[in-house]
Structure 1
Amino acid sequence: MNPTFVLVPGAWHLPSTFDLLRGELDAKGHPSIAVKLPTTGPEPRGGLREDAAAVRGAIEAVGGPVVVVAHSYGGIPATEAAAGLPGVRHVVYLAAYVPDVNESMFTIHGIPDPDDTDGLFPIGDDPRAQLYADVPDDVAALAIGRLVGQRVQPWADRVTRAAWHTVPSTYILTERDASLPVELQERMATHTKDVRRLPTGHSPHLARPDELAAILDEISARAGSAA
């Protein structure tokens, strides 16, 4: 059976961030769904546990083999959610965080937990440069207009289980990333068994969705044959 892609967005992003990629996957015959994370607006709530539950629910709803693709912050709830689910054939970390047990985004960066995790984390002064530097102007403008609030709490919450210990995984490293430092990506990629590289900024699903879909197509073929 052809695995279904379950796509997990990063901070501040809604499922629509994957529309272009889903179109490319659909053209290759791959079904896909994109997850709405509760901690991401327009009415953000909860923390990592709620986000992981949303990802886990999406995986379980497929009822067949799944390849999870997580972008940026999405790697944290995906790591928690995909552990122990027999339907998950592969996890793809797309310029994403790869936490181990008892790690959080803050600990990965070596930053102490904030005193207050109840508020929203600011997007930054220049999302165009930070997130979409190599994305076409019209696509970037639409993406910026779709950015929403993101709670701080899931960035401080620590992972209790890590899927990459038992599930085959791939890291797709973005070599011109202005958001997630390449050096940090290199370090986190050592947790995975396979590393691919794209000469893009932080959002290859918007900058080069066709090239990304080709990589995912190959991974899906391998994951399906290993089922």
Structure 2
Amino acid sequence: MTEPKNLVLVHGAWHGPWCWEPLRPELAGRGWTVSTVDLPSTSGDPAAGMHADARAVEAHLAAIDGPVTLLAHSYGGVPATEAAAPNVRALVYLAAHVLKAGESLVSPLGGPWFPPETEFVPGADPLEALYHDVPADLAREAVARLRPQSAKAFTEELTREAWRDTPSALIVCDDDRAMPEPLMKRAVAEGLTDVVRHLPGSHSPFLTRPAELAALLDDVVAALS
């Protein structure tokens, strides 16, 4: 019998499971059984940080019978790195932070530079930073669905590096205006993942090119196998 193709999607900062909606049918058409994690740090609770998010990912993974591919976007790469469980066969970072133990999301950038109780809202122009090539109506709908993000999620440090023990890949979006370029270059230069692939366009390919992203995921998983 063929092993089930379980795929767990972890969203990034300010987002929720809604952001995967255009991608899910493309993945289902390729035989994936898809589920999503809703991270507590975007729930409006400033006390919920990266470790709470990692526990949510761990609990979700533990409830799945069989091997799992874990796909994490942007900030979601941090709790995914902390939480990846024994049933995770492949870890895919989609325009995501690939960090080392002892680092937080902001520490490689010289942070934190804000009080720990801060609750972040998206920057001054999320349309430009996150969705500059997304169709206008869809981009405005996405901005309206963004949620505040706890600063604690950006300052709690990793205690483990799942990419050391799990085959992993980084998908770089070539016109990404949200991910700090030095972090992408570091991940590639230092070989923090096993496979690197590229997509054209912005930080949000699940909205702009879901079919292309689904096809690339199959290619990545095959390469990691």
Mark yes or no: TM-score above 0.5: yes
1:68 maps to what in 2? 70
5+ long unaligned stretches in structure 2: none
Letter in 1 for 2:145: R
2:32 maps to what in 1? 30
Residue-pair matches, total = 221
Letter in 1 for 2:27: L
- TM-score, normalised to structure 2, is 0.93
Cα distance in 2 between the residues matched to 1:143 and 1:23: 18
**Contact 2:91 / 2:168 at 8 angstroms: preserved in 1?**
yes
Superposition CA RMSD, Å: 1.5
Letter in 1 for 2:33: P
Cα distance in 1 between the residues matched to 2:75 and 2:109: 12
Runs of 4+ in 1 over 4 A off after TM superposition: 42-45
Cα distance in 2 between the residues matched to 1:208 and 1:115: 35
The alignment-based identity, stated in percent, is: 43
1:94 maps to what in 2? 94
Q: Which moved more, 1:42-51 or 1:202-211?
A: 42-51
Cα distance in 2 between the residues matched to 1:42 and 1:19: 22
1:10 maps to what in 2? 12
2:211 maps to what in 1? 210
Cα distance in 2 between the residues matched to 1:194 and 1:36: 27
Cα distance in 1 between the residues matched to 2:151 and 2:210: 29
**Contact 1:175 / 1:182 at 8 angstroms: preserved in 2?**
no
Q: 1:222 to 1:2 in 2, by over 3 A?
A: farther
Paired residue secondary structure (1:172): strand
- Cα deviation, 1:192-211, whole Å, max 9, x if unaligned, reads 01000011111111111110
- TM-score, normalised to structure 1, is 0.92
Q: Mapping of 1:1-227 within 5 angstroms?
A: 1-43=3-45, 45-82=47-84, 85-111=85-111, 113-114=112-113, 116-189=115-188, 190-221=191-222, 226=225
